[in-house]
Chain A
């Protein structure tokens, strides 16, 4: 069974700060890694995905995947109060329909 661990559990930053969220996973065969954002009372919404070693940038978001260390990180540049939410890391193997989620990081961006 895949184990997904996220850190930190919570984070409070001022508006405009760079935010770094971490996720480690246990199965080196995990191929598909997604970051989801969840606002209170809403379902999770996909933000960005990465499937290959290296990094991927989309707007203010950058994700880094290091398969050797089984680690993925999400970086949010110029954070906004609207970024305040819980961020979930999800991993699965290609061809498998089962995604494993971490417990999430709660981010608060103070205006």
Chain B
């Protein structure tokens, strides 16, 4: 079995700060995702990538950048943290052969003060 490791687990930032979240997977999966989970709003897709150096915008990409420099890693940057923002960011991965399970990391909890 594989694992998805997200760092850091907790991130406290200041308003306007640029913040980077990192994700590593050892499944050898081609496709990776970043989701944002807010209380009462479910999971919303920020970015996904179907292969190294590929980036696809999700419904919530504004205010974020992403980078997929290696097959095993996918990073997300909050370009300007918003005051009082609080959410969990989940990284996930899967194989591209349709109808396959998506595996998730444990998440990074962001708090902006």
* Chain A interface residues (CB < 8 Å from chain B): 1, 4, 31-32, 34, 36, 41-46, 49, 51, 88, 90, 94-95, 97-104
Contact = CB atoms under 8 A, between A and B. Distances in A.
B58 interface: yes
B106 A41 contact: yes
Name the prevailing secondary structure of the A interface residues.
loop
Nearest to A89: B42
B105 to A, nearest CB: 5
A88 to B, nearest CB: 7
A90 to B, nearest CB: 8
A46 B33 CA distance: 15
A67 B102 CA distance: 22
A110 to B, nearest CB: 23
A42 B41 contact: no
B37 to A, nearest CB: 9
Contacts of B2: none
A43 B90 contact: yes
Given A32-B99, A49-B99, A1 B59 contact: yes
